Structure 1
Amino acid sequence: MSAEVLIVGAGPVGMTAAIELLRRGVDVRLIDRSEQRTELSKAVGINVQTLELLQASGLTDRLLAAGLKIRAAHLHLDGTPLADLDLTQADHRYNFLLALPQSETERLLEARLGELGGRVERLTELTGLGQDANGVRVTLRLPGGGTETMRVRALLGADGGRSTVREALSIPFLGARYEEQWSLADISVDWPYGMDAVNLFLSRGGDVLFTVPIGPDRIRAISQTAHVLELLPSGSTVTGTHWESQFRVSLRQAERYQEGACYLAGDAAHVHSPAGGRGMNLGIWDACAFAERYSAGTLAGYSAERHPIGARILGITDRMFRITALEPGLAQSARNFVLRNIVPLKPVQRLIAPNLLGIER
């Protein structure tokens, strides 16, 4: 064996798994078919669960130093204030959401990986996979076109929603795609809403705009419509556009997270709407659970642990999306009443804030 564990995919999930294994003394190889780590902001929210999980590896303080601490959320309806959420009502030392572009998160992860003696083998792709009583036998395509065959005790697929590992294992990816065409933009903007809180702009027509600051004068704007910038509220002046994208969103989960000595984590195991900012965080949780179980010799229980947690988070994000995107009618009126009259109550906020921050008890 050239390593105990092979990790396929070197995004935040794969790098976290490698870091957690390396600090436990496990020999790891981490491969990725891309030439370099992402330069895009992609996932921008780091929640409390992730900050807790990464404390032991020494990453939490680095993330906190690099990110923006978001302590409030403001809700609007057709340009009129609807409710304010005080995230500091959560009884936790991390009573905030940390906003940080994924490009920066990956930079910090890769730096820590290197400190532990690991590295990402880039332009390296999994092309073959087989299992027997002795472990997992894989074939890799190497930079320049050569190949390598190796055997490992365990393989973790952290290679995204179109996972090569999941497909090679013939694990069904169950669920469906949302009908909406989504869009996002990272922009520099002058507007009257400040840079210290997230904002949710609802409309009686059903369109939704969500914004989160990711820099001193920069926000991420996302909508379940095709033209996010058209939903910016009056008084907004875009002074620079750094990234725009349109995309489709699915709600899917792998039927199981393991097959023999092969395992799935992150988007390879589950994908869902951006509502709640849970995607990358749930994947990092998977990665930490995998490393802990590998070290403890309890990987047989990985899927039984992680699958129900994934299903619960997928359900939360689906409900959040459907509630925010309600079309005109009785349900929308009831939602607006609750947001305007019930949510501002402090006892209610003390219940809501931990859920929004991803605090797991």
Structure 2
Amino acid sequence: MAEVLIIGAGPVGLFMAALLLQDGVDVQVLEQRGAPEPQSRAIGIHPPALAALAGTGVAEAMIAEGVQIRRGMALAGGKCLARMSFAGVSDRFPFVLSLPQARTEAHLERRVNELGDAALHRGVRLTGLSDDGGRVSVEADSKSGTLRYSAPLVIAADGVRSTVRALQGVDVRVKEYPDSYLMGDFADGTGFGPDAALFLSGDGIVESFPLPGQLRRWVVRLGTGDFPAGDSPPGGPDAGGPGADARWLTGCVRERTGLAIDAGTNSMLSTF
């Protein structure tokens, strides 16, 4: 029994849980992953989000750990064409904070555990949901067997492939975008410091953002002649697996920007 059940312990579910718990609401969070996701994934936290996170008491620690991006620049042919300051975007947070999503989730999970040490249940996969109009009943699988929960309100925070929506037959309006990107995190030897950089190239835009720990994210737009998202780079599936993808990405960055990146320092690679 709980006042609110939250399905999903990503940033949204944990944030909602922290808000409710600190207001005295009895919350249970069900998360199918047995352990936190270690990948960096989404990294940019904008001023309105920081203001919301401050309301749960985690923003200060996140800011201390992250990189404050206060300026962006556009470059082409080795020259800086323009600079943009973020100084005017917020009086309280005049920057975009760069922090791996895994760390954002860790700060929120710590806060949830402080507020309710039995609120988060990992390794629990939702399998059934029924709503009688006054109370929602939930069934879930776990290592210990089938679990049953009940609450007046269930909040679905279980992502784009939401089990809650599927069980409720809720349609999702999907829009497919034609653009594909390959991104990866590498050791930063650029000298850009905390600045974001946008490289304008005829072969496709390259974006670059600082990360904590002297790392930097590189994002390249894939053209029609490049390997599509989810496929292997030129050379086929036997070209070396993820390591080949990292080498392909660093080679692409070098061709479009003139900057050399050490492919061996890659710590994350993803397409979207």
After TM superposition, the score normalised by the length of structure 2 is 0.84
Spell out the pairing of 1:296-315 with structure 2 (5 A cutoff).
none
Any stretches of 5+ residues in structure 1 without a counterpart? 248-361
Q: Which structure dedicates a bigger proportion of its chain to helix?
A: 1
Spell out the pairing of 1:3-22 with structure 2 (5 A cutoff).
3-22=2-21
Aligned counterparts of 1:91 and 1:15: Cα–Cα separation in 2: 25
Q: CA deviation at 1:102?
A: 1.1
Any stretches of 5+ residues in structure 2 without a counterpart? 228-247
Q: CA deviation at 1:116?
A: 0.4
Q: Which residue of 1 aligns with 2:95?
A: 96
Q: Which residue of 2 aligns with 1:244?
A: 269
Q: Which residue of 2 aligns with 1:142?
A: 142
Q: AA paired with 1:135?
A: R
Spell out the pairing of 1:103-252 with structure 2 (5 A cutoff).
103-118=102-117, 119-144=119-144, 146-191=145-190, 193-205=191-203, 207-225=204-222, 226=227, 228-229=249-250, 230-232=252-254, 233-238=257-262, 240-247=265-272
Q: CA deviation at 1:203?
A: 1.6
User: Is the CA contact (8 Å cut-off) linking 1:74 and 1:200 kept in structure 2?
Assistant: yes
Q: AA paired with 1:198?
A: A
Q: What does the per-residue CA deviation read over 1:146-172, in whole Å, with 9 as the maximum and x for residues that have no partner?
A: 112222111111111111111112222
Alpha carbons of structure 1 residues 143 and 47: separation in structure 2 relative to 1, 3 Å: same
Aligned counterparts of 1:149 and 1:141: Cα–Cα separation in 2: 9
Q: CA deviation at 1:181?
A: 3.2
Aligned counterparts of 1:126 and 1:187: Cα–Cα separation in 2: 36
Q: Which residue of 2 aligns with 1:72?
A: 71
Q: CA deviation at 1:29?
A: 0.6
Alpha carbons of structure 1 residues 66 and 172: separation in structure 2 relative to 1, 3 Å: same
Aligned counterparts of 2:47 and 2:110: Cα–Cα separation in 1: 22
Q: What does the per-residue CA deviation read over 1:108-127, in whole Å, with 9 as the maximum and x for residues that have no partner?
A: 11111111014421110110
Q: What does the per-residue CA deviation read over 1:26-52, in whole Å, with 9 as the maximum and x for residues that have no partner?
A: 111101111111111111111111111
Aligned counterparts of 1:224 and 1:132: Cα–Cα separation in 2: 48
Structure 1 stretch 157-166 or stretch 225-234: which is displaced more? 225-234
Q: CA deviation at 1:59?
A: 1.0
Aligned counterparts of 2:45 and 2:31: Cα–Cα separation in 1: 23
User: Is the CA contact (8 Å cut-off) linking 1:71 and 1:197 kept in structure 2?
Assistant: yes
Aligned counterparts of 1:171 and 1:12: Cα–Cα separation in 2: 22
Aligned counterparts of 2:7 and 2:22: Cα–Cα separation in 1: 19
User: Is the CA contact (8 Å cut-off) linking 1:195 and 1:216 kept in structure 2?
Assistant: no
Q: Which residue of 2 aligns with 1:32?
A: 31
User: Is the CA contact (8 Å cut-off) linking 1:189 and 1:240 kept in structure 2?
Assistant: no
Spell out the pairing of 1:302-341 with structure 2 (5 A cutoff).
none
Aligned counterparts of 1:224 and 1:237: Cα–Cα separation in 2: 17
Secondary structure of residue in 2 paired with 1:14: helix
Q: Which residue of 2 aligns with 1:284?
A: none
User: Is the CA contact (8 Å cut-off) linking 2:73 and 2:197 kept in structure 1?
Assistant: yes
User: Is the CA contact (8 Å cut-off) linking 1:79 and 1:201 kept in structure 2?
Assistant: no
Aligned counterparts of 1:22 and 1:70: Cα–Cα separation in 2: 31
Q: How many residues are matched?
A: 243
User: Is the CA contact (8 Å cut-off) linking 2:68 and 2:96 kept in structure 1?
Assistant: yes
Aligned counterparts of 2:146 and 2:126: Cα–Cα separation in 1: 10
Aligned counterparts of 1:141 and 1:234: Cα–Cα separation in 2: 52
Secondary structure of residue in 1 paired with 2:208: strand
Q: CA deviation at 1:138?
A: 1.2
Percent sequence identity is 30
Do structure 1's residue 86 and structure 2's residue 81 form an aligned pair?
no
Secondary structure of residue in 1 paired with 2:97: strand
